[in-house]
Structure 1
Amino acid sequence: MSEERSTAHYDRQGEDKRQRLDRQWNELLQELRLAQTGTQILFAFLLTIAFQNRFQDADSFTHAVYAGTLIAAALAAGLLLAPVSFHRLVFQQQLRDQLIAVAHHLANGGLALLVIAMSGGVLLALDAVLSRTAAIVVVALVLAWFVAFWYLLPEYVRRTSTSRGPRSGSGE
């Protein structure tokens, strides 16, 4: 059975180009909804930190990490929301194939910035409760964890998949 799973591949026979593009757009929208929500919550939380009395007394390292984290969260939110704006501007122009290609890259960029923003947020929090060195080490491990599961694992599965053969371009 496990050998069957490793050699079988997922195929959508009978799906025409328009159906594939509609499915890909809907899948991308679902992914973006999840990423946008988390990013917007993180961004809102970060906005409140600057107005806390204790934060005003923090050192320059904390202020620099905060600034970088806030900017990364804002840019991540911008990239993760950009496909919505893009869709509005090209709506009913028969550009779904280009919309999906551009939105794919925007989402990837937004997720990369989200990793940076989340790592920065963890560093801000841990710097308040651990030594700075310990906080930086833990954040390096958190960042490595994100990279491993968000990027390296999917890339490993993609490269080692024996079930796909040559890519047909039909997409997921």
Structure 2
Amino acid sequence: MGLSWWSRHWNGCEAITLSEADSESENEKLARNVNELLGELRVAQAGVQILFGFLLSVVFTGTFRDASGFEKSLHISAVLLTSVATALLTAPAAWHRVLFRGGRRWDILRAGNRSVLAGLACLAAAVTVTVALIAKVVFGIVAMVVLGPLVGVLFLVVWFIVPTRMLRHQPADG
């Protein structure tokens, strides 16, 4: 089950067929792409909101008061990364609301794509730091050193390396 299997099956799940895409005007294509971007954001935002809620509630527990300075530093790092991820992942929706009537869809799409990628990177980092913190509290420093980077590598591979390789190996007409 190599890269070619993933490419064949992921490419087969496109929401619009090639013949439909060929008949779209440039404006229709742009509108569809912006709507797809905003739809993707809904999925990512749910994950950010859940993580953010968890991280915010932790500080009000009795055990947090007993946490070491290092553990509190990990926690605030995760909170800050989640805050940045929230800002980056919600920005395209705000930009769409402000700019769409001005015919700026291309700007929304281009900047939104960059914002989403940066937001996903921050979310991956926030989850990684959160797992490292939990591993440290529950099992100790060795678990933190093993599990934190392991989760970080998982996100890096699944969210960024696999799709980049799929894009590189995509046929020119696909």
Is residue 57 of structure 1 aligned with residue 69 of structure 2?
no
Give CA deviations for 1:70-121 in whole Å, capped at 9, x if unaligned: 0000110011011121122213101111111111111111100000111111
**Residue in structure 2 matched with residue 104 of structure 1 by the alignment:** 113
Is residue 35 of structure 1 aligned with residue 44 of structure 2?
yes
**Residue in structure 2 matched with residue 92 of structure 1 by the alignment:** 101
Q: Distance in 2 between matches of 1:29 and 1:118?
A: 22
TM-score (norm 2): 0.86
Q: How many residues align?
A: 161
Residue 51 of structure 1: how far off its partner (Å): 1.4
Is residue 72 of structure 1 aligned with residue 81 of structure 2?
yes
**Residue in structure 2 matched with residue 23 of structure 1 by the alignment:** 32
Q: Distance in 2 between matches of 1:58 and 1:132?
A: 14
Greater share of helix: 2
By relative contact order (CA 8 Å, sep 6+), the higher-ranking structure is 1
SS in 1 for 2:101: coil
Which consecutive unaligned segments of at least 5 residues does structure 1 have? 168-172
Is residue 164 of structure 1 aligned with residue 168 of structure 2?
no
TM-score (norm 1): 0.87
Residue identity over aligned pairs, in percent, reads 32
Q: Distance in 2 between matches of 1:74 and 1:18?
A: 34
Which consecutive unaligned segments of at least 5 residues does structure 2 have? none
Residue 32 of structure 1: how far off its partner (Å): 0.1
Shift >2 Å, 4+ stretches:
8-12
SS in 2 for 1:99: helix
